[in-house]
Amino acid sequence: MIQFYQMSSKGLWVYKSPPEETVYEFLKEGAFSPFLANILINKGFIEPRSAYTFIYPQISDFSDPFEFPEMKLAVKRIERTLLKGEKIALYGDSDTDGIVGTFILYDFLKNFTSSLEVFISNKEKEGYGFHPHYLPVFKEKNISLVITVDVGISAHTTIKEAQTLGIEVIVTDHHEVSSKPETITIGSKLLPPSSPFYPLCGAGVAFTLIRALRSYLYYQGFFKNKELPSIRKYLELVTLATLADIVPIQGENRIITFFGFRDLSEPSFPATKIMLKANNLSFPFSEEELYYKVIPQLNAAGRLGHPELVFNFLKSKTEEEAYRYFLEIEKLNLKRQEKESEILKNIEENFSNCAIIKDSFLILEVEEISKALLGLIANRFKKLYQKPVMVISVENGLGVASVRSPKEVDFFELLSRCKELLLEFGGHKHALGFKIKKDNLPLLAQKIEKLLSQKPTAKTPVGFYIDAIGTIPEILNPEVKEVLEQFPPYGEAHQPPLILLKDFEVKEIKIIKEKHSKVILKDREKELSGIFFNQVLENPHLRMLVGIPYVNLYTRSLEIKIKDVK
């Protein structure tokens, strides 16, 4: 049953009451409290076992990597290359995901061969993709096998050209795919959506390849005279890539981020240690601090055309070496912030000249902006206008575009229906890119407008979907605190639970820095602290509120972040 609560400037409060029989199963078989059962069911768990597995994952929960149909072909091809002493090239994308994936694959393979070359595309100069102009370089260096990381799933032409040159290609990628390349492909989106591998980022796919390769080589006797290399250490880096790429924290990603996030308490790599030290982060910290401090630093170098800096940073053998690279990375991050602000200012000042504004989407046509910054700009305007945004950099009659769209709009599917107007396209449902001739832009705008007009639109704005309704004593149940401590890190498709709190009185309101409200809520002898950011509360006669319960990292007490009140 769906219940509607107040309509505020932030929209409706909506609560979907779970079926009583399902709640009963969670109480009977899972021994959860009714309050926790409601949260878990509304977060999508349909039976207690899957909820327990999510809350308390084990390393042994990782699925069999050979569920990828061509994984055995991939590891056998890599084994043959290693046995023959042939040269391998790793070709990765220049964002955090691609660089981390390339590094962990390099770090693992160097246990078996010194014949490794690393290439990371320069997105600022070249744009996204597996570019054919690298092929003569591969040939000149006598490379027989190229393994792509976080790229290549749509590079049909480049792969065919490589094969004509006698260069084999193994694609590892996680982007949406309209047709599989004619080569060995480890692509998470080639699996059914129900697969635990489907949500992986590029580094996650690379890590899965490492898991498969290590087990296969062990079976083949590669480690009879040498120590089996550890791969648990990579989880801290794959966690950063997973959070950076904003992929769903589901399936394999939950296991990766659960352990990788906690492994950051004692990092394995000098680079990880330096990143945390430089940002004054000591465990416990929140994933928000990684999102807003660490990840932008890792992304900056690639966006400004220096992805090799991040790769060498990760490869550092000492903290001193890592710190030198970090200083260069942070300089680029500051430069990126300045450049981004300058671009945004120029767009705002010339908005009427560069914007094509439609009811359901927005196109920004800009001249010769760094291709690596297009996604950032698109995301800013998407948040501002709450509609899909295409930012297109035009140079010599050719447009390179980055698209960001709200969750309600599958833009990959839309562009799939406009293929005849595009030179190429690829990416995810809500974050992707394409190339187009400038002359085709008006036709593309017309077709997108027509396609979007055929989709239903929501009429009533929903401010909050509530996971559970409870009282202060129910929230302060020790079991709730224990589960909330297990839930992080949060991310895409795994947001903090949102609860409606009722039957309380306001004991105290304290205004902080003239713009935040700290409150003490009381229900009989039980008290709960709350914080309402950027809101001055003056009325102590509140009847209900919506908020996020969380464990304060400093006091270790359970508190609530208030989102709306009545």
Give the domain CATH number at 210: 3.90.1640.30
For the entire predicted model, the pTM comes to 0.89
Asked whether residue 256 is assigned to any structural domain, the reply reads no
Domain end residue (candidates: 184, 216, 235): 235
Same domain membership, residue 71 and residue 181: yes
Domain assignment present for 458: no
Are residues 375 and 329 part of one domain?
A: no
Do both 382 and 475 map to the same domain?
Answer: no
- Domain-terminating residue out of 310, 343, 376: 343
Residue type, 28: K
DSSP letter at 293 equals I
Residue 336 lies in a domain: yes
Residues 80 and 222 in one domain: yes
**For the packed helices 374-385 and 319-349, what is the interaxial angle rounded to 10 degrees?**
50
Alpha helices for 85-221 (secondary structure H): 96-109, 123-126, 135-140, 156-164, 202-219
405 and 280 co-located in one domain: no
- pLDDT for 350: 79
| Nearest CA-CA partner of 129 in 425, 393, 428, 436 | 425
* 462 occurs within a structural domain: no
Judge if 338 and 369 occupy the same domain: no
> The CATH number of the domain where 365 resides is what?
3.10.310.30
* Pair (143, 225) in one structural domain: yes
CATH number, domain containing residue 39? 2.40.50.460
Q: pLDDT value at position 309?
A: 96
Q: Domain end: 288, 323, 343, which one? A: 343
Indicate whether 394 belongs to any domain: yes
532 within a domain of the structure (yes/no): yes
Shared domain check, 201 and 115 = yes
Q: Give dist(CA 207, CA 363) in Å, integer.
A: 37
In a domain, 195, yes or no: yes
Q: What's phi and psi for 245, nearest 5 deg?
A: -90, 0
Encoded amino acid at 190, one letter: L
Whole-number pLDDT of residue 457: 56
Instruction: With respect to residue 57, please indicate whether it lies within any of the assigned structural domains.
Output: no
Residues 72 and 200 grouped into a single domain: yes
Total domains present in the chain: 4
- Domain residues for the domain of 550 are 2-43+467-482+496-565
Cα 441 from chain centroid (whole Å): 30
Q: Are residues 416 and 376 in the same domain?
A: yes
Cα–Cα distance, 355 to 101 (Å, whole number): 36
Q: How far is CA 554 from CA 145, 171, 281, 504, 550, in A?
A: 50, 45, 13, 25, 12
Pair 154, 295 in one domain: no
* 59-62 long-range Cβ contacts below 8 angstroms, 24+ apart: 59/232, 59/255, 59/259, 61/255, 62/211, 62/252, 62/255
User: Does one domain contain both 150 and 213?
Assistant: yes
pLDDT in tens, the chain (566 residues): 566 665 565 678 999 899 999 999 999 887 899 999 999 999 999 999 999 999 999 999 999 999 999 999 999 999 999 999 999 999 999 999 999 999 999 999 999 999 999 999 987 777 778 999 999 999 999 999 999 999 999 999 999 999 999 999 999 999 988 889 999 999 999 999 999 999 999 999 999 999 999 999 999 998 888 889 999 999 999 999 999 998 999 999 999 999 999 999 999 999 999 999 999 998 889 999 999 999 999 999 988 889 999 999 999 999 999 999 999 999 999 998 888 888 888 887 777 777 777 778 888 888 767 777 788 888 888 888 888 999 988 888 888 889 999 888 889 889 889 989 998 888 888 888 888 998 898 898 889 888 888 876 555 556 789 999 999 999 999 999 999 999 999 999 999 999 999 999 999 999 999 899 999 999 989 999 999 999 999 888 888 999 999 999 889 999 999 999 98
